Amino acid sequence: MDRSILVGTRVGMVAQRMREQIALFRTAGTDPENMGICGNDLIAQRLLEALCLPGKAFVDVGAHIGSVIAGVARHSRPSAIIAIEAVPAKAEALRRRFPQAIVHSCAVGEQEGEMPFFIDLRQSGYSSLYPSSERGEQQEISVPIRRLDHLVGSERVDVIKIDVEGAELAVMRGSDSLLARDRPTIMFESGPEEVGGYSKAAMWEWLDQAGYAVLLPNRVAHIDPGLSRDGFIEAHLYPRRTTNYFAVARVRREEVRARARMIQKLV
């Protein structure tokens, strides 16, 4: 069955929760070394769905089939949901499925223009601006590239999710005005590979200079100043500590920590 059919439905929500629980039990029984990454990614999903403050906007960069949009719509009360998806067919499907969302069909980066984009025909979630010999068959198309600063406009943004298969730092560099203005919390994916010339050290250094602390999902709700540069790099070594990280503006650290504690029912 096409999973996208169930996205946003109660059946889909129940099915997703069941898949998460099965994954936890399977990992505990067959791959205990990776329980940390499994648990952290589950915490990241829960926080992401409920962290956005009422009356503020949520931005989903790399919206895919809309699973995150559905969770945010169910658990938060954002003033707007802004979804960005480079694959035209997926963007059109998001417009039909989530008429309340603002959907942009483009990629996001440091500079505007057009670039080749490679659609993974077997696992479309791995589609990327960068070709990969390790993936399956790929279809090359051309997509517009926009800076997030220019896409968001005057909407006040509280949370941004970035999952763009290695181009996360490029998205942030194209969002510097937005980040300086609103200081949104960012959840970003960061795998072990270095893609497109963006290193883990460069990611940490850029966020540090922008006034952000980088945290593991299970540390967002606790007193933690964030990972050091070396700690962030080490977290990518096998067995990895997580797939998704939170960048929290230092000036908002206590506020975000308190909200995370409420979401996780730690108070």
Q: What are the pLDDT digits (tens) for 69-106?
A: 999 999 999 999 999 999 999 999 999 999 999 999 99
Q: What are the pLDDT digits (tens) for 204-233?
A: 999 999 999 999 999 999 999 999 999 999
Structural domains in the chain plus CATH codes: 3-263 (3.40.50.150)
Confidence class of residue 124 from pLDDT cuts 50, 70 and 90?
Answer: confident
Q: What is the radius of gyration, based on Cα positions, of the chain?
A: 18
Q: Which residues pair with 248 in a beta bridge?
A: 213
Pair 38, 24: CB distance under 8 Å? yes
Contacts of 128 (CB under 8 A, 6+ apart): 117, 118, 120, 164, 165, 166, 167, 195
Coil, helix or strand for 82? strand
Q: What are the pLDDT digits (tens) for 125-162?
A: 778 888 776 666 888 999 999 999 999 988 999 999 99
Q: What are the pLDDT digits (tens) for 177-190?
A: 999 999 999 999 99
- For residues 38-43, average pLDDT: 92
Overall residue count recorded for the chain in this entry: 267
- For residues 49-78, average pLDDT: 96
Q: Which residues pair with 244 in a beta bridge?
A: 189
pTM of the prediction? 0.90
Pair 256, 185: CB distance under 8 Å? yes
Contacts of 28 (CB under 8 A, 6+ apart): 35
Q: Is it the case that residue 18 has pLDDT exceeding 70?
A: yes
Residue percentage of the chain with pLDDT more than 90:
72
Pair 51, 246: CB distance under 8 Å? no
